[in-house]
Structure 1
Amino acid sequence: MLQLMQQYIPGFTGKPVSYRNYHAYQTMERLYVIIPARTEQDSYYELAAITAYMQENGFPRIAQPMITTEGQIITVYENTPYLVVEMPPPYPVRLGAHGAELAAFHELGAACPFAPDTLSSYGKWSELWTARLAQGEKLYAEIYQKRPLTHGERFFIDTFPYVIGRSELAIQYVNESNGEFRFTEADQATTVFMKYQSELKETYVLPHQIIYDHPARDLAEYVRIAFGKEEEGDIKEFLPAYMQARPLSVFGMRLLYGRLIMPLHIFNQMEQGLTGTAGAAYETLIMQQHTYEQRLAGLFQYMQVDTRSLEIPVLENYL
């Protein structure tokens, strides 16, 4: 890994350390973190422009992707592409209410004058979900023909039709929501995370999970995790704090709700396998879905939103 770092800083020397399970190097002045790359170089160049803007305009806690001496942002080392980020210097951190912190992060990201292309998933949810569902249906068809079946595979065959139904419902809901005319400036694309898991509570933010999308994405993924952990009390504080700082439009509320209808957490687990520990985790998520949907039914109550007066469609109108 030292040879990799020397492609960014000639003659680099530093102490090898670990940071959040990533290889890293510590010098007297800075910490450098080496992260496996997940996408093409163009996306990371866009990411570097965005993180530079955010560092300079009110969010210094985000690490900055580095460029090699040859102008490359991704380096291949032992057949694996890597992104190297430079951590910001230590400074006192005073975090406010979590929801308000996320709202400020979204506000700053939306103000960035640089609009990314390859890094954006804005308006593509239905397309991405349809492709993901197709992959799941292909797997279902393959396993359906298989004999003998493991317990995990048999459970998958019995339950995946439910996942198909919820996915189709979510796709329909989001497609219809795209015709919603009650939107505001807060609905423009901004900096969000692939799957938000309270990263803003950390002292520093690693940028490799940042993309461009609707801010409802972060809200939905945080709420999804809270539903699974039975942390409804946290949601009751988190969502109103966000809404007070950066109110969601009706369009934004519908996207939030539609994303939570989509069982992405089940797809994530399913794609890790259907046997052994992975299969047991898939089965657990399926068994928890009844409780998940009960909590989802109370989403707008947590947000202190009257769906009837705002004419926001809810699941009972579709089932």
Structure 2
Amino acid sequence: MHEYGRSCPLPITSCRRIGQWRELWAKRIDQMEAFWANMMAAGPASPFDRLFLESFPYYLGLAENAVQYVADTELDDEPLRVDYAAFCHERLPQAGWVEGTEAKLPLDWVYDHCARDLAEWVRHLYNKRGLGCQRVVRQFFQDYGHLAPLSSFAWRLVYARLLFPLPYFECIEAYYTTADREEQARQERALRKLLDASREYEQFLASFAETAGIANHIRLPAVEWLPPAP
């Protein structure tokens, strides 16, 4: 799917996302930071509000690290052919066909860097297996690399996307955009689970190069505040 997208001869504009991550993430960060500041001024009205108020500065820092990582990658590294825009999923693994259903709706696709899909699939594997995902993540990248070896530029974008705390943003947004009590309760459980696992996810990020099997030939710039890789 990615390879077909890289060779697409048609101009694609309305669903184009490549090169826009920094701007889109920064907008999302600004919106949530403004919402958080207003709630800080008003004070929490629910347990979820309190969790949000206490946790947002941490995830704000993580998100800003991700934005800076993309900026540094674009300045420091050179894209290769594998870095051409490709057909990607708006959001993996929510595409139903991934689990075996053969419905592939183009409305669920965007034109973006392959790192979008790769990072979201790795995030999915981590969510299923935690730190025990190392073997399957490494095999996944080996299989992909047989068809399209990733450049240093691509690896850095994969890592930047894993840095960006998308599950946290989605959880907060889902809670505050629904009036359904059951859905709010589900999002509160999801947020508590995220917060409880934050230290473990830091370990995953710190050891990602080793997990992906690239530590010996690709240099991923370190995020200084993360714990040293085990």
Aligned counterparts, 1:51-130, within 5 A: 105-130=1-26
- Partner of 2:197, secondary structure, is helix
**TM-score between the two structures when normalised by the length of structure 2:** 0.85
- Partner of 2:103, secondary structure, is coil
The higher-RCO structure (CA 8 Å, 6+ apart) is 2
For structure 2, which runs of at least 5 residues remain unmatched after alignment?
177-183
Q: Which residue of 2 aligns with 1:288?
A: 197
**Contact 2:44–2:50 under 8 Å retained in 1:** no
Show CA shifts across 1:98-135 (max 9, x none).
xxxxxxx1011111111201110000000000000011
Show CA shifts across 1:17-65 (max 9, x none).
xxxxxxxxxxxxxxxxxxxxxxxxxxxxxxxxxxxxxxxxxxxxxxxxx
Q: Which residue of 1 aligns with 2:179?
A: none
* 1:131 and 2:41 aligned: no
Q: Which residue of 1 aligns with 2:180?
A: none
> Which 4+ residue blocks in structure 1 deviate beyond 4 angstroms?
none
Counterpart of 2:196, as a letter, is: M
- Partner of 1:212, secondary structure, is strand
Number of aligned pairs? 214
Counterpart of 2:137, as a letter, is: I
Between stretches 238-247 and 156-165, larger displacement belongs to: 238-247
Of the three residues 287, 303, 307, the one matched with 2:212 is 303
**Contact 2:87–2:109 under 8 Å retained in 1:** yes
Q: Which residue of 1 aligns with 2:41?
A: 145
- Partner of 2:11, secondary structure, is coil
Q: How big is the shift at 1:201?
A: 4.7
**Contact 1:192–1:217 under 8 Å retained in 2:** yes
- Please, what is the CA RMSD of the aligned residues? 2.0
Q: Which residue of 1 aligns with 2:112?
A: 213
Of the three residues 147, 168, 171, the one matched with 1:245 is 147
Of the three residues 72, 79, 87, the one matched with 1:176 is 72
**Contact 1:228–1:292 under 8 Å retained in 2:** no
Counterpart of 1:224, as a letter, is: R
Q: Looking at CA atoms only, which structure, 1 or 2, has the larger radius of gyration?
A: 1
**TM-score between the two structures when normalised by the length of structure 1:** 0.63
Counterpart of 1:240, as a letter, is: Q
For structure 1, which runs of at least 5 residues remain unmatched after alignment?
1-104
Instruction: Write 1 or 2 for the structure with the bigger share of helix.
Output: 2
Counterpart of 1:316, as a letter, is: E
Instruction: Write 1 or 2 for the structure with the bigger share of strand.
Output: 1
- Partner of 2:87, secondary structure, is strand
